[in-house]
Amino acid sequence: MSGYSLQQLWSLNGHGIYVWGSLALCGLAVVIEWQALRQARKRALQRIRRLQRNKGKTRA
């Protein structure tokens, strides 16, 4: 990348808004997916613990 300034890298010949915007949206999607997976894992572990606690109990 020698010979390029940071301004040229940022603007990308007028296409920078699309490139950097799409990268930002992809990053945001990764963060949202990661949080959703963490919450789903937490709920699954809570359900497993609840089922293990109730394993010996009978329901009427």
Q: pLDDT tens digits for the chain (60 residues)? A: 567 788 888 888 889 899 999 999 999 999 999 999 999 999 999 999 999 999 877 665
* pLDDT number for residue 6: 84
Please check whether residue 33 lies inside any domain of the structure.
Answer: yes
Q: What is the number of structural domains in the chain?
A: 1
* pLDDT number for residue 8: 85
Query: What is the widest separation between alpha-carbon atoms in the chain?
Result: 78
Please check whether residue 11 lies inside any domain of the structure.
Answer: no
Domain that holds residue 30: 17-53
How far apart CA 45 and CA 51 sit, in angstroms, is: 10
Q: 35-52 burial string, b = 16+ CB within 10 Å, else e?
A: eeeeeeeeeeeeeeeeee
* pLDDT number for residue 2: 64
* pLDDT number for residue 58: 64
